[in-house]
Amino acid sequence: MKKILTIVCLASLLPAFSFAEKLPNLKKQASWGDKEKKEFLNYLKSDQPMPAGDVKSVSSSNANGKGKAFSKAKYVSLAPVLDTIIHDDSPGSKREPATLGVKFLAGGHVFSWVRYYAGVKYSEVRQDKLDGGRANLSHLEIPVGLELALIPLGTPHTRYVLLRGGVSEHRFSGSVKKTDFKESLLGWTLAWNLGLGYEWQFSNSNWRFHTLAEGYRSFSGGGRAPFYGIGLTTGFVYTF
């Protein structure tokens, strides 16, 4: 009888020894196959304590020990722009022919649907002179502001409606003098901007296509001719 009890006790201890011997190498979990995964599962079912030294805490920081800050997406855009300007002179206004220019913008995300932007735009405009001639002026614009990237209901999350608002500095220059005009555009003038557009992100790509209509109007004062303008930008955006 005593011999039988001894055999039963030894038999009850066999599973524990068996599981302990088959515990896979925890330091090589990335290379585990089905066999190692099954052995580890059996070990967990045995309720045995985990061997000391095999389990290590893993820091959420990067390899060099320094925490990596969350990086929000940024973007750059270089696109042609068709722009027209209207001189808001008394007693009436005069619309100049549309000219082709170029606009560069760079920006990033404040939130997932709010973005900031800044950039530069260059085009040319014409203005009537007092002697009856026409002057060609260079038009430099430096815009800054915020835009909302909204996803319309029922559309894929790669389509955005853009609502843009901000301010811009406009500089008009040329080989003429302020006295050549009744009300000169020459110099720097501050304006406000509003825009409405559409953006489409290509599948599995950092590239986006966008088109945007934008208007601007100069703030009153400053001794310069008031003006407002309308532009259409169509081009590509690269995100990173």
Q: Where are the domains of the chain?
A: 1-63, 74-239
* Residue 157: pLDDT over 60: yes
pLDDT at position 68 over 70: no
For residue 95, give the H/E element and its range: strand 94-95
Angstrom distance (rounded) from CA 92 to CA 131: 19
* Pair of tokens at residue 151: 């996803």
**C-alpha 122 chain-centroid distance:** 23
**What are the tokens at 61?**
């920081």
pLDDT tens digits, one per residue of 179-209: 898 888 899 999 999 999 999 999 889 999 9
DSSP-H helix ranges across 46-191: none
Q: Which of 124, 76, 109, 151 is nearest to 229 (CA)?
A: 124
For β-strands 227-239 and 114-128, DSSP reports them as unpaired
CATH of 74-239, one of 3.50.30.30, 2.40.160.20, 3.40.50.10420, 3.30.565.10: 2.40.160.20
Give the burial string for 194-221 (b: 16+ CB within 10 Å, else e): ebebebebeeeeeebebebbbebebeee
Q: Which two tokens stand for residue 75?
A: 């973007």
Pick from 178, 107, 179: nearest CA to 145: 107
96-114 tens-digit pLDDT? 888 999 999 999 999 888 9
Question: How many CA within 13 A on the CB side of residue 134?
Answer: 6
Q: pTM (2 decimals)?
A: 0.67
